[in-house]
Amino acid sequence: MLLPPEGVVSGFGRPGATDMQVESAVSLKPYNTFGLPAVAQTLVRIASDADVRRVVDDPTFGRAPKFVLGGGSNIVLTRDMPQVVLKVEVRGMRLVEERPDAWIVEAGAGEDWHALVAWTLAQGWPGLENLALIPGTVGAAPVQNIGAYGLELQDRFESLDAVDLVTGRSVTLHPQICAFGYRDSVFKHSLAGRSVITRVRFRLPRPWRPVLGYLDIERKMTETGTAAPSAQQLFDWVCAIRRAKLPDPALIGNAGSFFKNPLVTPEQCRDIIGRDPTVVHYPLPDGTIKLAAGWMIDACGWKGKSVGQAGVYEKQALVLVNRGGAIGSEVMTLARAIQESVYGRFGIRLEPEPVVV
């Protein structure tokens, strides 16, 4: 049980709540940013570790298969869900420690990610600004080690609390156990579907240093003649760049980048350059090379194309969109057709980024 936090606090837990909040036959359409139709037979709202334990100990739900749902911005729903859906709504954000070299901030897994980024900045604890405007919840951020504009969650991660869905035990996990990688973590492998993340702690380094070097950010620096942007400036730029490039899920259903950018060896890259010398690629410090999946999809002529009501976004080929009334199977048929044509032309298998349910 979390002790009443000290310092800057915004409402942890659900004081006095003891009953499980169980709902039946719940439409998940409003709970996924793609706006895909699916019905959850049972949905339980999780506001604390104790709520998870109640589900685990429950004679009806304890042994039933479960699916953990955050903001639904990284999932593709292809069918109704017989699993018990655990909708994570653990709240609260607070400063837990002020160290000479870092601010340690904790947030409930159900908090909105962007709200956390904006709140930490407003409190004078910068460090998350490059990750502004990524949809979804705090608790899902470690699952795929969210990243954008030269920063990944793992660069600011301290630890997290999770409850095991088999034993009901609460554990604190540190970076080594989380095994973060490119859009990857232990929560996509040995702990997939095994635990509910309830709180995440972040280490925001002091003194703050901007994370620069990303092309779009460099462009903003040149345009504005700013050599040393503040954290607020970076936050504003990232928000503006994202708004110009990505469809707002409130207006056009989508799950962000639909495919991961493939990582290849220099030999593989030479082979692909042999097929198309204009292929967009970025050498990484570890010697591998990142290929721009969006560029490859565009090169195969997919931009603006559709299968049923599922389409490829006109402004960014990496994003698949719901043109209105799409169903999950249309999205997946489109995704498979894209994978086949990219494989046929470049010999590369694109891997979907969202979780297909």
Ligand X SMILES: Cc1cc2nc3c(=O)[nH]c(=O)nc-3n(C[C@H](O)[C@H](O)[C@H](O)COP(=O)(O)OP(=O)(O)OC[C@H]3O[C@@H](n4cnc5c(N)ncnc54)[C@H](O)[C@@H]3O)c2cc1C
**Among residues 246, 264, 307, 334, which is the contact residue for ligand X, using CB under 6 A?**
246
Show the CA angle centred on residue 70, arms to residues 67 and 76, nearest 5°: 65
What is the spatial distance between Cα 228 and Cα 209, in angstroms, rounded to a whole number? 10
Cβ burial of 205 (10 Å; 0-12, 13-18, 19+) is: middle
Which among 89, 185, 257, 330 is annotated as catalytic? 257
Work out whether 84 is an interface residue with ligand X (CB under 6 A): no
Of 251, 253, 238, 261, nearest to 318 by C-alpha is 261
Work out whether 350 is an interface residue with ligand X (CB under 6 A): no
Least distance (Å) between residue 251 CB and ligand X: 10
Rank residues 48 and 269 by Cβ distance to ligand X and give the closer one. Answer: 48
Work out whether 355 is an interface residue with ligand X (CB under 6 A): yes
What is the spatial distance between Cα 197 and Cα 110, in angstroms, rounded to a whole number? 9
Does residue 158 carry a catalytic annotation? no
How many residues bind to ligand X according to rule CB under 6 A? Answer: 33
Does residue 257 carry a catalytic annotation? yes
Angle between helices 231-245 and 215-224 (to 10 degrees): 110
Does residue 353 carry a catalytic annotation? yes
Phi, psi (rounded to 5 degrees) for 286:
-85, 5
Which among 94, 183, 201, 203 is annotated as catalytic? 183
Work out whether 321 is an interface residue with ligand X (CB under 6 A): no
Whether residue 320 contacts residue 312, with contact meaning beta carbons closer than 8 Å, is answered with yes
Work out whether 148 is an interface residue with ligand X (CB under 6 A): yes
User: What is the pattern of x (binds ligand X, CB under 6 A) and - over residues 14-43?
Assistant: -------------------x----------
Least distance (Å) between residue 297 CB and ligand X: 16
Q: Which stretch binds ligand X (CB under 6 A): 140-148, 173-181, 220-228, 291-299?
A: 140-148
Least distance (Å) between residue 274 CB and ligand X: 31
Rank residues 120 and 144 by Cβ distance to ligand X and give the closer one. Answer: 144
Instruction: Give the DSSP per-residue string, 202-238.
Output: EEEESS-------HHHHHHHHHHT-SS--HHHHHHHH
**Among residues 38, 93, 117, 146, which is the contact residue for ligand X, using CB under 6 A?**
146
What is the spatial distance between Cα 161 and Cα 163, in angstroms, rounded to a whole number? 7
Question: According to CB under 6 A, which residues from 325 to 344 bind ligand X?
Answer: none
What ranges make up the beta strands (E) of 230-288? 253-257, 263-264, 281-283
Residue for token digits 């795929």?
144
Work out whether 294 is an interface residue with ligand X (CB under 6 A): no
Q: Which two tokens stand for residue 124?
A: 């004078």
Rank residues 84 and 269 by Cβ distance to ligand X and give the closer one. Answer: 84
Q: Which residues bind ligand X (CB under 6 A)?
A: 33, 67-75, 88, 109, 134-137, 139-141, 143-144, 146-148, 187, 196-197, 246, 249, 254-256, 355
Question: Which residues form the catalytic set?
Answer: 183, 257, 353
